[in-house]
Amino acid sequence: MSTEVHRRRRRAPRGRGAAPHWLGRLPYLIVLGGVAAGLTLCAFDYFRKGSGLMAAALLFGALARLLLPESQLGPLAVRSRPVDCWTLVILGEAVAFVALSVPPMNKTGLVLAGAFGVLIALALLVRAARFLIAERRANAPGRPRSHAAPPRP
């Protein structure tokens, strides 16, 4: 006769004043949405406005990381508080500096920047394709699989 042990998942107690679960991810979603909206504006040739929005979102993330407890930050709390805050502040200030210091481009500059972006995208696609081909070759049915750990240097 076998005995099965059923484990119940323990949940943290929730009081009356406890915040909903999704509220803990709200600062992260605001930062992520601000950066995504900024990238969208940059894609539609509003570089300064898009970069300004990205900088504002990153600086908001730094302020949220500084003021809110870790339980309300979601994925914004990765490392220690000072490291997270300084990282977000430096990135936000760098993006703001670039947004304010880059002169407006003429049509030739926009075409060259677009072509450069297309070249980067193509290079990424080629690398992804090479990786997938290498994975398929490594997992081919005729090849023996080695489960041993690789030697340490």
Contact (CB, 8 A) for 65 and 73: yes
Q: In this predicted model, what pLDDT tens digit does every residue of 28-80 receive, in sequence order? A: 899 999 999 999 998 888 888 999 999 999 999 999 998 988 877 778 888 88
Domains of the chain: which residue ranges? 23-103, 105-138
pTM here is 0.57
Q: In this predicted model, what pLDDT tens digit does every residue of 112-143 receive, in sequence order? A: 777 777 888 888 888 888 888 888 888 877 66
For 54, how many CA atoms within 13 A lie in the half-sphere containing its CB? 24
